[in-house]
Amino acid sequence: MYKDIFLIFCVISLPYIVQREFAQNSNDSIEWNTEEVEEVKNKNVVLIVADDLGWKDLGCTGSKIYETPNIDQLALDGMLFDKSYAASCVCTPTRASIMTGKYPAKLNIDFIQGANGINSLPLEELTIAEVFKENGYVTGLIGKWHLGSRELMPEYQGFDVAIGKPHSGSPAGGYYLPNKMKLDNVKKGDYLTDKLALEAEKFIVENKNKPFFLYQSFHSVHVPIQAKKSYLPNEKRRMDKSEEKWNIKYSTMIKSLDEAVGRIVKTLKKEGLYDNTIIVFTSDNGGVHNLTDNTPLRGGKGYIFEGGNRIPTIITGKEVQKNKVCKMPIITNDFFPTLLDFWTLDKNISF
C-alpha cells in the first residue's frame, strides 16, 4: 500500500526530482507541482513493454549509439525514472508482477513460463486487465503474453482482445512475416514489430469513443536478432563513421521499436486522445549482456546483478510533469496500483 502511494507522490509531487536534459548528470533538488490539472474523461492507459531492452538502450537514458527519437520525446513529454527495476531478471516473473502488482515470489513464479503450467499465472490471480474491464474499459493485449497457454491465455485473464498467439517467449517463427504467429493480413516481407504497431493503431481507432487499456507487448528486442533489413545500410554507414562498434542488426531492431512507439503516439494525437491517455514505457528485464552495453552495471538478462534488473521506464500523461527525472527507485509491480490511483479506480485490492 505504502509503495504505490510513494510512487504517486513521486510522480505528482516530485520530491527529489531533477529537471535536466536527459542523459546528463545533475544534483538532486526538491520541486513541487503547483499546477492545476484539468479533469479529463475517457481516461485511457497504454502500457508498452519492450522485451530485453537494456537500461542504456535509449538516447534519453544515455546511449550514444542507438537512435530513439520517439521514445526520447516521450521522456521530454513526461517523466523518466532513473532507477527503475524489473521484478526479475527474466521475462515471465516480471510480466506476472506487472499483471498482478505482486512480487513474483508471492506468485510462486521464479523463472520463465514452461510446460504443464509451470511458472504460469493462475486464473485466481486478479489481473490489471480484469480490474480495468470491471470499470468499463475495453482491454487489449497485442504481442507477447508468456504467462500461460490454453486456459491461461490472456482472453481468460481479463483481455477482450488478444492478438499474437501463441504469445510465446520469443516470436514464433521469428520477426519476418509470415511466421508461426496467428496474425491476419500479413504478406511476405512484413516485419513483426511494424505489424504489432499497426494492430495497436487499429485498436486505438476502433475504441476511441470508449475508455481503453492497451497492453502493447512488443517482442523486440528479444532473440532471434533479425534486422529490419531496410535499416541495415544506414546503420552500417553510421558505424563506419564512428569509433564505436555495435551489433547493427540489434540497432535496427531498436530503431524499429522506436518507430512503432512513435506510430502509437501519433495515432493517439490524431484521434485527440493523447492528453487523456497515460502512457507507460518500460522493459521486462535488463539487456542481454553480450548484445548491448549495461556498464557500469554487472551482468544482464538472466543474471541476478543490477544489469539483469535495471530497466528504462517513462510515464507520460496530463497529470505527469514534463521533462522530469525521478531518481527514486521503482519496480514493475508498482505499475498496477499506480495506474489505478491515476484514474481513481477501485483500490480495495490486496497486493
Residue 15 falls within a domain, yes or no? no
Compute the average pLDDT of residues 328-334.
Answer: 97
Residue 39 falls within a domain, yes or no? no
Residue-level pLDDT at 113? 80
Residue-level pLDDT at 119? 85
Find the domain containing 211 and state its range: 2-9+44-342
C-alpha cell at 244: 564505436
Helix, strand or coil for residue 28?
Answer: coil
Instruction: State CA 79 to chain mean position distance.
Output: 14
Residue 311 falls within a domain, yes or no? yes
What is the spatial distance between Cα 87 and Cα 85, in angstroms, rounded to a whole number? 6
Q: How many domains are there within the chain?
A: 1
Instruction: State CA 331 to chain mean position distance.
Output: 13
Please report which confidence band the pLDDT of residue 350 belongs to, taking 50, 70 and 90 as the band edges: confident
Please report which confidence band the pLDDT of residue 37 belongs to, taking 50, 70 and 90 as the band edges: very low
β-pair type (277-283, 212-217): unpaired
The answer to whether residue 49 scores a pLDDT higher than 90 is yes
C-alpha cell at 101: 502488482
Residue-level pLDDT at 68? 98
Residue 349 falls within a domain, yes or no? no
Q: Which of 28-32, 47-51, 187-191 has the lowest mean pLDDT?
A: 28-32
Percent of the chain whose predicted confidence (pLDDT) is above 70? 87
Q: Which CATH number does the domain housing residue 299 bear?
A: 3.40.720.10
Residue 212 falls within a domain, yes or no? yes
What is the spatial distance between Cα 95 and Cα 92, in angstroms, rounded to a whole number? 5
Residue 86 falls within a domain, yes or no? yes
What is the spatial distance between Cα 278 and Cα 43, in angstroms, rounded to a whole number? 8
Name the strand (E) or helix (H) holding 314. Answer: strand 310-316
The answer to whether residue 261 scores a pLDDT higher than 60 is yes
Query: pLDDT by residue (tens digit) across 79-104?
Result: 999 999 999 999 999 999 999 999 99
pTM, two decimals, is: 0.89
Residue 23 falls within a domain, yes or no? no
Place of cell 516481407: 189
What is the spatial distance between Cα 268 and Cα 204, in angstroms, rounded to a whole number? 7
Query: pLDDT by residue (tens digit) across 140-168?
Result: 999 999 999 889 999 999 999 999 999 88
Residue-level pLDDT at 115? 64
Phi, psi of 40 (to 5 degrees): -120, 160
Residue 38 falls within a domain, yes or no? no
Phi, psi of 278 (to 5 degrees): -85, 125
Q: Which residues pair with 49 in a beta bridge?
A: 217, 282
